[in-house]
């Protein structure tokens, strides 16, 4: 055991020559001083002993007239002594180990599962606003609070889960299920939304007031909410059905060939803020608050390593007013699309059969009139 102590901690090899070196060995045994690897030499002997006992042996050697010469020193104590005054070399491994441990608690990457591009950007900005980003140090309490805040701020999520392990934050979310629409049971008639000739009739509830081939006018009852029972007593119901009719309608649009609009120039006006540990430091002049200001966040990095800080950029895209000139064919196309937009806004399932148009030019302004023959479902609940 003493040999292990001398090798691992502090030991000194020495040579003793001259004088009564045999007596020195005897005195060391009486004093309980351990000597290891004792070897005879031409003038005395060589041995090793614990460093703590070297001073006592040197006093005994003077009593015996023996000259001691210290040789190799070994053990942890003497290894550390060579770094005396250079504590940075000893502290560096400890600091490195502590840094590795802390970095393991920080976020190196964030992965989003179950989110489309728009929802991903939305959740990302919300997490940045809560200082959850690359380089941040997270706790379970902070993650649970972030989950609750995301759920409370947006009803579009059915559930949100933030899982952090080994430097990776996984954000999982699922959209909320849409509540089924509850149909009204109030008795209501289906009336015609436009003049036309009935081509197809499919009544699910109620009483058909018109038949295939009949001509109807806008506002006529197509499916009545009341139908007689076997005793000719009216029974109220919520009319439902499909009434496809051939319709002819005219739409008109006025399209100038020269107009002004605001367009993006490609430039932006921006300002920056530094967010660190929940605090905000403004970097330079800030943009005034307005609805046009957009906000983005990105992690602050040094040599590719993310720090627990984010840079918040607030910017406004620059716009300018420009004047556009349309050719006659371009104005015609714009006007036609505007008339078609009116048609499909009124009848989303319209199927165009034929169309005719009339153009009236007044200087640089086109009045475009389009007459369309189409078939569509014209049944609407009364009062819509």
DSSP states along 259-308: EEEEEEEEEEEEEEEEEETTEEEEES--PPP-TT-EEEEEEEEETTEEEE
| Residues 244, 254: Cα–Cα separation, whole Å | 30
Residue with the two structure tokens 């699309």: 337
| Residues 216, 198: Cα–Cα separation, whole Å | 7
Check whether domain 109-175 has CATH 3.10.20.90, yes or no = no
Structural domain spans, the chain: 2-81, 109-175, 190-245, 259-323
With 90 as the cut, is the pLDDT of residue 36 above it? Answer: no
The answer for residues whose C-beta is within 8 angstroms of residue 140's C-beta and 6 or more apart is none
Residue-wise pLDDT tens digits, 59-81: 888 888 888 887 777 766 666 66
Span of 79-88, 214-223, 329-338 with lowest mean pLDDT: 79-88
Type and span of the H or E element at 126: helix 117-129
The CA–CA distances, whole Å, from 330 to 319, 336, 337, 368, 374 equal: 24, 10, 11, 12, 25
> What CATH topology corresponds to 2-81?
Alpha-Beta Plaits (3.30.70)
Q: When comparing pLDDT for 310 and 368, which is higher? A: 368
Catalogue the E-assigned strands of 94-220. Answer: 109-113, 157-165, 168-175, 190-192, 196-205, 207-208, 215-216
Neighbours of 173 (CB within 10 A): 24
Instruction: Say what the pLDDT of residue 375 is.
Output: 92
Integer Rg of the chain from CA: 46
| Residues 212, 164: Cα–Cα separation, whole Å | 65
Q: By the 8 A CB rule, do 114 and 174 touch?
A: yes
Residue-wise pLDDT tens digits, 340-362: 999 999 999 999 999 999 989 88
**Range list of H helices, 194-308:** none
With 80 as the cut, is the pLDDT of residue 363 above it? Answer: yes
| Residues 15, 161: Cα–Cα separation, whole Å | 72
**DSSP-assigned letter for residue 137:** B
Q: Give the chain's end-to-end CA distance (angstroms, integer).
A: 100
Share of the chain above pLDDT 70, in %: 84
Strands 365-377 vs 36-41: parallel, antiparallel or unpaired: unpaired
With 90 as the cut, is the pLDDT of residue 312 above it? Answer: no
Span of 86-100, 116-130, 357-371 with lowest mean pLDDT: 86-100
With 90 as the cut, is the pLDDT of residue 158 above it? Answer: no
pTM summary value: 0.53
With 70 as the cut, is the pLDDT of residue 101 above it? Answer: no
Q: By the 8 A CB rule, do 223 and 330 touch?
A: no
**DSSP-assigned letter for residue 284:** S
**DSSP-assigned letter for residue 10:** -
């Amino acid at each position: 055991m003493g040999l292990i102590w001398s090798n691992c901690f502090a030991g000194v090899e020495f040579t003793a020559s001259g004088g009564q070196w045999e007596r020195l060995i005897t005195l060391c045994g009486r004093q309980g001083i351990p000597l290891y690897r004792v070897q005879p030499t031409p003038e005395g002997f060589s041995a090793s002993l614990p460093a703590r006992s070297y001073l006592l042996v040197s006093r005994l050697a003077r009593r015996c007239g023996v000259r001691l010469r210290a040789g190799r020193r070994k053990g942890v104590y003497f290894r550390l002594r060579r770094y005396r005054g250079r504590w940075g070399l000893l502290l560096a491994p400890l600091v490195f180990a502590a840094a590795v441990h802390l970095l393991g608690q920080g976020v190196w990457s964030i992965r989003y599962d179950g989110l489309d591009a728009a929802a991903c950007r939305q959740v990302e900005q919300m997490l940045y606003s809560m200082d959850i980003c690359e380089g941040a140090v997270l706790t379970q309490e902070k993650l649970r609070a972030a989950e609750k805040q995301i759920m409370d701020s947006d009803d579009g999520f059915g559930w949100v889960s933030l899982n952090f392990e080994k430097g990776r934050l996984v954000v999982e979310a699922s959209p909320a299920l849409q509540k089924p629409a509850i149909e009204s049971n109030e008795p209501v008639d289906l009336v015609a939304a436009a003049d036309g000739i009935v081509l197809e009739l499919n009544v699910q509830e109620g009483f058909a007031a018109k038949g295939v081939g009949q001509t109807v006018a806008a506002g006529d009852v197509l499916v009545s909410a009341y139908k007689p029972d076997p005793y000719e007593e009216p029974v109220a119901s919520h009319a439902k059905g499909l009434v496809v009719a051939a319709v002819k309608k005219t739409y008109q649009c006025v399209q100038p060939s020269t107009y002004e609009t605001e367009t993006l120039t490609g430039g932006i006006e921006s300002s920056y803020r530094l967010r660190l540990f929940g605090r905000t430091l403004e970097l330079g002049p800030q943009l005034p608050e307005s609805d046009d200001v957009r906000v983005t966040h990105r992690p602050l990095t040094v040599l590719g390593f993310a720090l627990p800080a984010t840079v918040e950029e607030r910017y406004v895209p620059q716009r300018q007013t420009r004047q556009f000139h349309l050719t006659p064919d371009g104005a015609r196309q714009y006007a036609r699309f505007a008339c078609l937009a009116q048609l499909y806004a009124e009848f989303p399932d319209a199927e165009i059969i034929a169309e005719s148009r009339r153009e009236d030019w007044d200087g640089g302004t086109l009045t475009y009139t389009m007459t369309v023959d189409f078939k569509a479902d014209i049944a609407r609940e009364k009062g819509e």
